[in-house]
Amino acid sequence: MKPFSEMTQEEINSMTTEEFLSVSPFEKKSCADCAHCKASMSLWCRNAEAIAYRGTSIPGVIKCKFWKPNWRYIDRKYRTPENGYVKPTFIQKIISYFTNY
C-alpha cells in the first residue's frame, strides 16, 4: 500500500474502514481530529483562513493544510514529543476543562 500522503482521493475513498482508522491522524489531517473544529450544537470549522480558502465552514476535509491537532481526540499512542505533544500541567487541565465546556 502507498503512503497515505501520496494517495489520491479515489484511493482514499476505496480504503476499508479498518485501513482508514489505522492511518495516523498526523497523516490524515482530518476535521475529526482538528483543534479548529468546534462544536456546541453542531460541528463547524472556526479557522478563518481555512474558511476563506475552502469557501465554507462545513468540515469534512482530509489532508487539510490548516489542520492543527486536537489532543483531546487523538489516541494516546500518538501523544509523543515528536508529534508536538506537550503534557499539560494540572492547572492547564483545569483551565482547559472549564473553558471548553
Give the pLDDT of residue 41: 53
Residue 76 · residue 42 · CB < 8 Å: no
Report the chain's terminal Cα–Cα distance, integer Å.
41
Residue 36 · residue 12 · CB < 8 Å: no
pTM of the model: 0.70
**Segment 16-46, tens digit of pLDDT:** 999 988 999 999 998 888 888 876 556 788 8
With CA atoms as reference, report the closest residue to 83 among 96, 63, 69. 69
Report the distance separating Cα 68 and Cα 30, nearest Å: 9
Give the pLDDT of residue 101: 56
